[in-house]
Amino acid sequence: MAKKTVADIDVKGKKVLMRCDFNFPLDENCNITSDKRIVAALPSIKKVLEGGASVILMSHLGRPEGQKTPKESLAPVAKRLSELLGKDVIFADDCIGSDVDTKAKTLKSGQVMLLENLRFHREEEIKDKKAKDDPKLKEAKENFAKKLAALADIYIDDAFGTAHRDNASMLTVPQMMKGKPRVIGFLIEAELKFLGDTVNNPQKPFFAILGGAKVSDKLGVIENLMKKVNGILIGGAMAYTFFKAQGKSVGNSLCENNFIDKAKELLGKAREMNCEIILPVDTVIAQELKEGAKNKVVEGNIDDGWQGFDIGPRTRKLFANKIKTAKTIIWNGPMGVFEMPPFDEGTKAVAMAVAEATDKGARSVIGGGDSASAIKKMGLNKRVSHVSTGGGASLEFLEGKPFKAIEILDEK
């Protein structure tokens, strides 16, 4: 996707509407627990301000489902953004309406305004399919988008975390701004470059590491990647569905029985495509999930009453040795219950192996979500090539799905 970026347009004297991703948890006192997503948006914001524009920022936070709630207000973001930019950020207590219109019209070059949570309006999340089937929903979504679009002369999308969604602010607003510049920010540019180049122009050997709870969440990723990679290393609870597909007992381990036949089919397809599916050879099991739980390592079948919670030591070595040979690596999903010792050792071992391979010249992309959290928790995020900001978005990208919200933006 060779899209125009914020660096390709003249913004002097213009009002810029920028979709950011400020969706991160606040603590019980509505304090920001991490400002990383705000920091990630700064390069695009600063570029616009340096170019002589004023900027109107918009984002969602949480799932308020059309209800205005203090705990999901973006007011704390405005405060932190003011500190990071070294200038006052005007905060609007809504994202549409007469007060917002007035504040937008009086914005001067160099000023920043942040709109209140987009999801305080249900129209933001109306899906296009529902809108097509229901004229009233379509009208409501379009009217909401028109009000946002009328605030500015230029649209910038820098929210990769929601780039796979057809939310009003992501898709309908730029549709309403046809004829005006509609570009991507630096954050999305980096995501498309790293994910796109990695998947479509990889150096071989190319290995994908997939973990997490469900095979169903990764079906599309596995089917798409097996055409491109030399091998797929599978850990996490999703491995137990593959075990059962091979006729093994998995005890009380999480297993998607409805997807056993699909797992068999994937194993067969992988053999046909000469893609190696590498499953765990041993498993850390316990009878209960709690920190410091009594556990043991087994190979093969898991007895009833026991659950698998992590890959075992032999698997850690097996996976690490495969990763060491790689020139390109994609990792999405933990190898076990990474938040809880002693079931975090598999994820730690994989993270370290990916970092060491990157140190030796491999390109590594961490696909957001739990794997991003794990690698940051270990302090290894600076030792990999790229950590994606979008969990669901990066997964859909790896599946090869089109992103309508990006496709409609201006080509270079």
pLDDT per position as a tens digit, 117-169: 999 999 999 998 898 899 999 999 999 999 999 999 999 999 998 999 999 99
336 in active site: no
Residue 368 — very low, low, confident or very high, per pLDDT cuts 50/70/90?
low
Q: At 358, which helix (H) or strand (E)?
A: helix 345-359
Q: 146 and 87 in one domain?
A: yes
Q: Catalytic one among 37, 47, 119, 322?
A: 37
Q: 262 and 123 in one domain?
A: no
Which of the given ranges, 14-18, 200-204, 216-220, 369-373, has the highest pLDDT on average? 14-18
Q: Which of 156, 187, 218 represents a domain boundary (last residue)?
A: 187
Q: Catalytic one among 220, 392, 400, 404?
A: 392
Give the Cα separation of 369 and 378 in Å (integer). 15
Q: Catalytic one among 214, 248, 376, 404?
A: 214
Q: Which of 187, 212, 230 represents a domain boundary (last residue)?
A: 187
292 in active site: no
Q: 229 and 136 in one domain?
A: no
pLDDT of residue 80: 93
With 70 as the cut, is the pLDDT of residue 275 above it? yes
pLDDT of residue 373: 84
Residue 299 is part of which domain span? 197-399
What average pLDDT does this structure show over 297-309? Answer: 95
Q: 235 and 172 in one domain?
A: no
What is the radius of gyration, based on Cα positions, of the chain?
23
Q: 114 and 156 in one domain?
A: yes
392 in active site: yes
Tens digit of each residue's pLDDT (9 = 90 or more) over 37-74: 899 999 999 999 999 999 999 999 999 989 999 899 99
With 60 as the cut, is the pLDDT of residue 1 above it? no
pLDDT of residue 352: 96
161 in active site: no
Lowest mean pLDDT among 29-43, 171-185, 190-204, 317-331: 29-43
295-298 β-sheet, strand order: 295-298, 283-286, 307-311
Tens digit of each residue's pLDDT (9 = 90 or more) over 210-256: 998 888 888 889 999 999 999 999 999 999 999 999 999 999 999 99
Lowest mean pLDDT among 20-34, 72-86, 192-206, 211-225: 20-34
In this structure, the chain runs to a length of 412
pLDDT of residue 397: 87
With 80 as the cut, is the pLDDT of residue 33 above it? no
With 80 as the cut, is the pLDDT of residue 201 above it? yes
Closest of 181, 215, 197 to residue 327, by C-alpha = 197
- E-strand ranges in 53-201 read 54-58, 89-91, 112-114, 154-157, 182-184
Number of domains in the chain: 2
Q: Catalytic one among 211, 369, 390, 391?
A: 369
Residue 324 — very low, low, confident or very high, per pLDDT cuts 50/70/90?
very high
Residue 36: which CATH number?
3.40.50.1260
The answer to the question of residue 192 being in a domain is: no
Q: Which of 153, 187, 221 represents a domain boundary (last residue)?
A: 187
Residue 195 — very low, low, confident or very high, per pLDDT cuts 50/70/90?
confident
Q: 85 and 49 in one domain?
A: yes
With 60 as the cut, is the pLDDT of residue 170 above it? yes
Give the Cα separation of 120 and 110 in Å (integer). 27
Q: 150 and 23 in one domain?
A: yes
pLDDT of residue 45: 98
Residue 26 — very low, low, confident or very high, per pLDDT cuts 50/70/90?
confident
What average pLDDT does this structure show over 195-224? Answer: 91
Q: 211 and 144 in one domain?
A: no
The answer to the question of residue 411 being in a domain is: no
